[in-house]
Chains A and B, each alone.
Chain A
Amino acid sequence: MSATTQPTRLAVLGAGHVGPVIARLALKAGYPVAIATSGEPEDIALITELVIPGAQPRWASDAVADADIVVLAIPLHRFLDVDPQLLNGKLVVDAMNYWPASDGVLAAFEDGGSSEIVARRLAGSTVVKALNHIGYHELEDRARPADAPGRRAAGVAGDDPAAVATIAGLVDAIGYDPVRLDSLRAGRVLQPGGPVFGVVLTSREFERAMRAGAGSLA
């Protein structure tokens, strides 16, 4: 980020397992970060102060309005309560997962890739699938600077190449080699049960695992 341009601002929606981890990584990489839940900012003031120092707790609508990138880090069943209007016109990172074995069956997500379904509900937004396939407890531990040997990879999938490029930049900045996938459909390989879900791989291993696993998910 050069001094002559406005820094890219992030809004992280969700202050559970995943949201604070992504927020901390983004803060460390120099992004201004606002964090919000469905409730009032006061509810997460203490969490922000101690667990995500440097982030701004805000109302979701305010955080989103001022953000260049919105990260959805809420349980997927709670996503069904989010008003799509809130995210209209925004670049949205879908870090959520449909994981029935852990979170229960959701009829709305039984058929197709979860991010494709998210994108259909958010028709006025640009959706990119990323930061969903590395466990929240590993995401921070495995992040490394760009030139570090053995740096791990993270998938970035979307239908809009410019949006994928922007989020690939975010993923790179927070500590992972971005591996781009040119559609949300192709991003199904990043889902639970897929070949790279929950394993933290280098980009070479990542590409190999995706090729090996793609057949079973087509």
Chain B
Amino acid sequence: MTYTFGLDTFGDRNGDTDGRPLSHAQTIRNVAEEGVFAEQAGVDFFGIGEHHTEYFPMPAGDVVLAAIAARTERIHLGSAVTVLSSDDPVRVFQRYSTLNAISGGRAEVILGRGSSIDSFPLFGYDLADYEELFDEKATLFAELLKGGPVTWEGKTRAPLLDQDVVPHTESGPFPAWIGVGGNPQSVIRAARLGFSLALAIIGGPPARFAPYSQLFQRALEKFGRAPLPVLVHSPGHVAATDEQARAEFWPRWRDIIALMAAERGFAIPTEESFERETGPDGALYVGSPETVARKIAANLQALEATRFDLKYGMPGLTHDQLMTNIELYGGQVIPRVRELLG
């Protein structure tokens, strides 16, 4: 079994050592540095998730990925996720096909809603139409990926008649995934359209997603498709020791979730919930390289997944803390997971 390992960021706004936020521009430059360093550290994939907020100023991740592409040679680069419902599938294809050209075939895309709902009002979409928008646009994106002229008609964008969409890829479709947060019907849709499955697991015991992985493979069979990979995306933070990782991550995690809770009406994390989520049955990968590696290995096996993407960073963490996280993830966590799964 070949396993691959990625790092994802939402462009979490960095803090300085005194806890003051850095500018959006400096945060974006730091993300580019982190992507380049990820390759040096031995990471296989670097992903940037679309967000449109003060604390996640990252609406155009593909531009940052292009900057990283120009300075790297091996690492795969992609979205994590692209909010397809509020974007134009033709433009998304063109941007990532362009990234694929610049990077010499290293582009990927993960389509989904993510936790970002801010793009809906920004671009004039109604959140209540989320399902229809996503379903239509994912269907069109699957057609675009095939590479030939596209004929398509729907309610959410202008029709296409035998339309050649450029730039063409050099060697077939680039990897494309659909991000799923716990809705089994979304798993079926990914299989029906021929996308790989990205399980976003951000709370609760990861093992409860195991039936989704089986559902995905069975649905692929049903639709007459070959098996496709499953990836797991979860948040975390790696530092030299468990204590240090938790001390750095907890206040940042608590503050940002509390902020989102106030805006969106959900619960604020407590020390008890943090204990549970960072323990062996939780969804947060926070700790020393050994702790994090063991948890990744166990969950890749439980979920029959072959890729793990650690969503690193939180608003307020410093660029230095993130670079250390990347160094430890690439240099120690990934080799140790490979050894454990050997």
In the complex, A75 Cα to B183 Cα: how many Å? Answer: 12
Contact between A101 and B183 (Cβ–Cβ < 8 Å)?
A: no
Contact between B267 and A199 (Cβ–Cβ < 8 Å)?
A: yes
| Set of chain A residues within 8 Å of B266, measured between Cβ atoms | 135, 192, 197-198
The answer to whether residues A198 and B208 also contact, given A16-B183, A102-B117, A104-B120 and a CB cut-off of 8 A, is no
In the complex, A105 Cα to B127 Cα: how many Å? Answer: 8
CB distance from A101 to the nearest CB of B (A): 4
The interface bits of chain A over 99-126 (1 if a CB of B lies within 8 angstroms of the residue's CB, else 0) are 1111111100000000000000000000
Number of interface residues of B (CB under 8 A): 31
In the complex, A46 Cα to B192 Cα: how many Å? Answer: 13
| Set of chain B residues within 8 Å of A37, measured between Cβ atoms | 185
Q: Is the interface of B mostly helix, strand, loop or mixed?
A: helix
In the complex, A210 Cα to B220 Cα: how many Å? Answer: 47
Docked complex: B111-131 residues within 8 A CB-CB of A: 117, 120, 126-131
Number of interface residues of A (CB under 8 A): 32
| Set of chain A residues within 8 Å of B222, measured between Cβ atoms | 46
A59 contacts B by Cβ under 8 Å:
no
CB distance from A152 to the nearest CB of B (A): 12
Contact between B126 and A193 (Cβ–Cβ < 8 Å)?
A: no
B120, B127, B208, B218: most-surrounded residue (chain A CB, <10 A): B127
In the complex, A178 Cα to B212 Cα: how many Å? Answer: 30
In the complex, A181 Cα to B199 Cα: how many Å? Answer: 37
Contact between B185 and A15 (Cβ–Cβ < 8 Å)?
A: yes
The answer to whether residues A141 and B205 also contact, given A15-B184, A102-B117, A103-B128 and a CB cut-off of 8 A, is yes
Please give the residue numbers on chain A whose beta carbons come within 8 Å of chain B beta carbons, in ascending order. 15-17, 20, 37, 44, 46-47, 50-51, 75, 77, 99-106, 135-138, 140-141, 192-193, 197-200
The 7 nearest A-B residue pairs measured at CB? A104-B127, A198-B267, A104-B128, A192-B265, A198-B266, A193-B265, A137-B204
